[in-house]
Structure 1
Amino acid sequence: MQLLLGRLADAFRQLAGLLRRVRPAEKSTLLAAFVSAISVFAFVEIADDVTEGDTLAFDQKVLLFFRNPADHSDPLGPPWLEGVMRDFTALGGIPVLTTFTALVVGFLLLSGRRRSAWMVAVSVLGGIILSNLLKWGFDRPRPDLVPHAMAVYSQSFPSGHAMLSAVVYLTLGALLARTESDIRVKVYLLGAACLLTMIVGISRIYLGVHWPTDVLAGWAVGAGWALVTWLVMLWLQGRGKVEAAH
């Protein structure tokens, strides 16, 4: 994990130098392309370490950080916090994310942005399919170090909740940010999307249903997928195939 963080730090230093040499209009596209590439790279590195068993010590240390040292079946904090975490984790579940997506797609259709609606639907549906394919491919068991605080039925790697919350909330946050000219509002919307994504992932670790690297991998591949589909939308918009922001 330290090697991965070092490589990411070097990459972002190179990006900072590159952004100083490009035109302002190109910076957002370049940044999105770079971050999507970094996200995919991070996922590949994490997956490789997980497959080789190199993350076990890290996973165990972080998972136990959220547990009572005297009783690993007891999550840290007051009893009500466990209920709060279950509520947070529901924000990354298929029913909630599907509802959010359907409402946004309906809004786009009613406002005359039919192609944008299709792009959002394809992005989310593609993310769900990719998540299931990755889970089946890696077939990692759920953590057995601590009791699960809720029922789980699928494989562990990558975290579907972390991945799909990144896909949905980052896509919708970017979609809303397109409609705003104030940079502060754009930052707020994207920051809120990132915060929701992080809360969902942390809740999965707290409840003991995912290893930390499951969540990190889910965040990485989810952000990468959201950014790639966003770049495709920008490309189609430039060719007149997708409606411009109002």
Structure 2
Amino acid sequence: MLNLLPDRLHRFLAARFSPEGEMGIHFTIGIVLILAAAWAFGAIAEDVVEGSAITLLDVRLAHWFRAHASSGFTEAMLFVTHWNGILGSSIMGALLAAWFWHRKAHYWLVVVLVSVPGGMLLNVALKHVFRRARPSLEDPLLTLSTYSFPSGHTAAATVFYGLLACYLVRRVRGWPKRTAVVAACCLMVMLVALSRMYLGVHYLSDVLAASAEGAAWLAVCITAVSTLQRRRIARARGREVAA
């Protein structure tokens, strides 16, 4: 019995790191990303609940942004934040879904239909779990009455631009182009996060946790849909062999 364990372990590991199969390397990477992002979110959330050092940095940074605000930069940040709000994210998600439908990329279509609205609902649920108040500032640039943690704009941006990056990386050839795609999408997420902090409606910990939340949720969606796609292909091949 003991002699069988190394063989079983070897087969298990070989299957997990195989580029083929229903639960190969894509599944392994997905699980690692989900666990890492979930751990990061949990660590930040714990620090916020316990009032750790990051909450002091939150307050200082919020006051620093307000003290160094300028009219031109405020207009730019308002544009970024409104473009990536609920309406803007919904429009961009719908356009991306229409593109996938036009390209007959049905599995990517499923991912965008699940990840974008699902991520928004998840963020609303988390806000009501933590019930953190918005930053309290004198003469704020923007005022909202909803909860602060985690940032909905940043989470939605992480999901949308992360999904866009995953799709484009598989479409373009060459690492320079792929690196440029990933860098551009990461920059957009950081701009959205910056806009929320600069406008005084979110703390640093809000946007960091939102990025982790969005990454975890996107990894769940892509891993699940990719696994279902591979299972469908494997079953189709099995029927062909049987025939």
**Percent of aligned positions that are identical:** 31
Give the equivalent residue in structure 1 for 2:105: 113
SS in 2 for 1:178: helix
Within 2, Cα distance between the matches of 1:180 and 1:233?
21
- 1:59 equivalent to 2:32? Answer no
Give the equivalent residue in structure 1 for 2:13: none
SS in 1 for 2:232: coil
Within 2, Cα distance between the matches of 1:161 and 1:232?
24
**Contact 1:36–1:227 (8 Å) recurs in 2:** yes
Within 2, Cα distance between the matches of 1:109 and 1:237?
16
Within 2, Cα distance between the matches of 1:233 and 1:27?
14
Query: Which structure carries more relative contact order (alpha carbon 8 Å, separation 6+)?
Result: 2
**Contact 2:82–2:88 (8 Å) recurs in 1:** yes
Within 2, Cα distance between the matches of 1:97 and 1:181?
28
Match of 1:34 among 32, 35, 38: 32
- Residue ranges of structure 2 left out of the alignment (5+ in a row): 1-16, 234-243
Within 2, Cα distance between the matches of 1:181 and 1:47?
39
Within 2, Cα distance between the matches of 1:116 and 1:24?
19
Following TM superposition, where does structure 1 have runs of at least 4 consecutive aligned residues deviating by more than 6 angstroms?
22-28
The 5 Å alignment of 1:1-246 reads 30-54=28-52, 55-68=54-67, 76-240=68-232
Give the total of aligned pairs: 213
**Contact 2:78–2:195 (8 Å) recurs in 1:** yes
Deviation at 1:29, TM superposition (A): 5.8
Within 1, Cα distance between the matches of 2:108 and 2:56?
44
SS in 2 for 1:66: helix
Partner letter of residue 51 of structure 2?
G
**Contact 1:167–1:222 (8 Å) recurs in 2:** yes
More helix by share: 2
Q: TM-score, normalised by structure 2?
A: 0.80
Within 2, Cα distance between the matches of 1:172 and 1:67?
32
SS in 2 for 1:210: coil
Within 2, Cα distance between the matches of 1:116 and 1:28?
15
Within 1, Cα distance between the matches of 2:153 and 2:178?
25
Partner letter of residue 163 of structure 1?
A
Partner letter of residue 85 of structure 1?
M
Structure of greater Rg:
2
Within 1, Cα distance between the matches of 2:143 and 2:60?
23
**Cα-Cα RMSD:** 2.1
